[in-house]
Structure 1
Amino acid sequence: MTTRTGITNAKWKGETQAQEESAPGFGQAEVVVNELTTYVDISNTLLADASQAEAEVRQALTEDFGAKEGLAFVKRSGDGQPEGVMTKAGIAETVSGHATQITADALVTQMYALPAMYRNAGTWAMNGTTLGLLRLLKDGGGRFLWQPSYQAGQPETILGRPVIELPDMPDVAGGAFPIIFGDWSGYRIVDRVSLSVLVNPYIRATEGITRIHATRRTGGRVIQPAKFRKLKIAAS
């Protein structure tokens, strides 16, 4: 996957002046594809007697895989997983100005610390508990920073930019990073295989058991850390 490692260097020139070359500011970044797998054994009697048994197993697998992927994309906890955006080195931070709380001033500072081209495409991300706290914050003029969506299909906003809920983001606490803001094109997710479910009625047939295998191949990586900024809960 192509990633930008620098910027080009365009210059104004006169009518008869020659153009100057920009050294290529691009490189290649590998997004490793990881595999998430499990299997479920279920009795043939249950499959025969409960018409929705297999559907329930598939639904449970879908929910489990979705939760595990979401956790890894936010804060990878080990090798063999996608890269977590919150554990990526090189993402700048803004401090909240309070040892245990979020401040309105810090959110404004965090947002405007990003270059305009990233800020204008930026989206806030936090968990539901943090979002609940932000809904109570006001600016110096008494206006709420959070604004509801007044149109179906449109997101709610904070300081005019959309906000999404990521359940695996940290809660607000001293030293924690509960909020990230940025242009999410800087994080790439690569899907090689959607959730694949294989029903194997043979491997434990003599025991009256059907085994249901599930596999998902996906990867994620921060391609451009400069497109993001985190909020740290700290006094200074």
Structure 2
Amino acid sequence: EIEKKAFGNYLRLGNQTPPDEIKALTVSNDPQAGYLAPAEMSTEFIRDLVEYSPIRSIASVRSITSSSVKYPKRTGVTNARWEGETEESEESAPTFGQLEVVPHKLTTFTDVSNELLNDSGGTAEAEVRMALAEDFGKKEGTAFVNGTGSGQPEGLMTHADVPETINGSTSALSADKLIELMYALPAMYRNAGTWMMNGTTLGVIRKLTDGDGNFLWQPSFQAGQPETLLGRPVIEAVDMPDYESGSFPIIFGDFSAYRIVDRLAMSILSDPYTQARKG
């Protein structure tokens, strides 16, 4: 409650906020004197993002406090050989590299009127949080699917090494090609795989049947259980391409291998000057 009240005062007063309330807002012992957002707001902010970014629900998400995170990467295996009873073993060694993930900065601003701040009955903080969560969530979701990797996250659809299965027709989606796509994956990934597509493509998928007239798409009959396609769950992502010539509208894989790294140090600055003449 102390932090929430202090944050509301900070939105109204900016740098004129009393020093003891500035102290209450500091949730990170950072060289720049902390970040003016209460811890509870940071937690709720991330929770709200999940609603707008379904990639977070299937990817591996971790938080860091440094400027980047480095993953060891094995680039080769040992070379075992069959040997006779008295033959010597030959040495071989795996090779390793390193993969560095650097978090990118996402920023925006929102104008809040003095009337809302003064007459909102304490809801101004929630209004600001939801405005930011909706904006950040949409931008994150788009980047996690189609991000270029330059100044923003690299999206699932961007990496050149992701193989594809060609449907072969621009007028009809082939059920056989869906099966081919699924079984192109090694079993350990296939058995943990998830389908992802947008709503337009999902509408086409729901009409597909096998030779006996059974629908490939199966609805969820139990609360908490996902809809399935060929036995694997389906999630809808609005940022996936539409089903059309030259596009890749469906992706299937074990998305836990996709890393989302949050540098959880949300910074909020109050600017009481830029729009002061407009209230």
Query: What's the TM-score, normalizing by structure 1?
Result: 0.77
Cα 1:187/1:13, change in 2 over 3 Å? farther
1:29 counterpart residue number? 99
Q: Specify which of 100, 108, 111 is matched with residue 182 of structure 2.
A: 111
Deviations 1:167-214 (A, max 9, x none): 1000100010001111113211111126x36252655696585xxxxx
> In the alignment, does 2:258 pair up with 1:171?
no
More helix by share: 2
Whichever of the two has the greater Rg, that structure is 2
Which of 180, 183, 197 in structure 2 is aligned with 1:126? 197
Are 2:73 and 1:3 equivalent residues in the alignment? Answer: yes
- The DSSP-based 3-state class of the residue aligned with 1:86 is coil
Determine whether 1:38 maps to 2:108.
yes
Q: Does 1:159 align with 2:225?
A: no
Q: Residue type matched to 1:166 in 2?
A: A
Listed as ranges, the gaps of 5+ residues in structure 2 are 1-70
| Alignment map for 1:72-87 (pairs within 5 Å) | 72-77=143-148, 79-87=150-158
Structure 1: any 5+ residue segments left out of the alignment? 210-236
- The structure-2 alpha-carbon separation of the partners of 1:172 and 1:201, relative to structure 1 and needing over 3 Å to count, comes to closer
Residues 6, 183 of structure 1: CA spacing in aligned structure 2 closer, same or farther, 3 A cutoff? farther
Contact 1:45 1:208 in 2 (8 A): no
SS in 2 for 1:69: helix
Separation in 2, partners of 1:122, 1:25: 28
Helix, strand or coil at the partner of 1:23: coil
State the Cα distance separating 1:157 from its structure 2 match: 1.1
**Is the 1:6–1:25 contact (alpha carbons within 8 Å) kept by the matching residues of 2?**
yes
Counterparts of 1:174-193 in structure 2 under 5 Å?
Answer: 174-193=245-264
Residue 117 of structure 2 is matched in structure 1 by 47
RMSD of aligned alpha carbons = 2.6
Select the structure with the greater relative contact order (CA < 8 A; seq sep ≥ 6): 1
State the distance in 2 between where 1:142 and 1:94 align: 24
Instruction: Measure how far apart 1:106 and its partner are.
Output: 0.7
Maintained 8 Å contact 1:170/1:178: yes
Contact 1:100–1:172 (CA under 8 A) maintained in structure 2: no
Provide the residue aligned with 1:138 in structure 2: 209
Q: What is the number of equivalent residue pairs in this alignment?
A: 208
Tell me: CA distance 1:163–1:61, structure 2 relative to 1, closer, same or farther (3 Å).
same
Q: Contact 1:44/1:208 (CA < 8 Å) preserved in 2?
A: no
Rate the CA distance shift 1:6–1:132 in 2: closer, same or farther, 3 A: farther
Q: Secondary structure at the match of 1:27?
A: strand
Percent of matched pairs sharing the same residue: 62
Question: Deviations for 1:16-72, whole angstroms, at most 9, x for unmatched residues?
Answer: 877665532432111121000112222222211223344222201101101100100
Q: Distance in 2 between matches of 1:192 and 1:174?
A: 38
* Residue of structure 2 aligned with 1:62, choices 111, 118, 133: 133
SS of 1:133's equivalent in the other structure is helix
Which amino acid is the alignment partner of residue 227 of structure 2?
A: E
